[in-house]
Amino acid sequence: MKSIAIGLIVLGTISVYVAIVNRNNKHSSVKQKILKAFYPAIMKLGQTKSMILVNNSKSEPIIDFYSLSFQQIDGTPFDMQQLKGKKVLIVNTASECGFTGQYEALEKLNQLNLNRLVIIGFPANDFKAQEKGSNEEIQRFCKKNYGVSFVLGEKGIVEKKDNQQQIFQWLSQEEKNGWCNQQPTWNFCKYLIDENGTLTHFFSSSVDPLGKEITNALQ
Rounded distance, CA 206 to CA 127, Å? 15
Kindly report the length of the chain.
219
Decide: residue 154, CB within 10 A, 0-12 exposed, 13-18 middle, 19+ buried.
Answer: middle
Cβ within 8 Å of residue 53, ≥6 positions away: 180, 182, 201, 202
Whether 97 sits among the annotated catalytic residues: the reply is yes
Rounded distance, CA 105 to CA 204, Å? 15
Rounded distance, CA 15 to CA 9, Å? 10
Active-site position among 97, 142, 180, 189: 97
Three-state SS at 193: strand
Q: Please say whether the beta carbons of 91 and 196 come within 8 A.
A: no
Phi, psi of 20, deg, nearest 5: -65, -45
Nearest to 68 by CA among 87, 55, 81: 81
Measured over the CA atoms of residue 97, residue 99, residue 104 and residue 108, the dihedral's sign is negative
Rounded distance, CA 185 to CA 124, Å? 12
Bridge partners, 93 (sequence order): 123
Q: Annotated catalytic sites, by residue?
A: 97
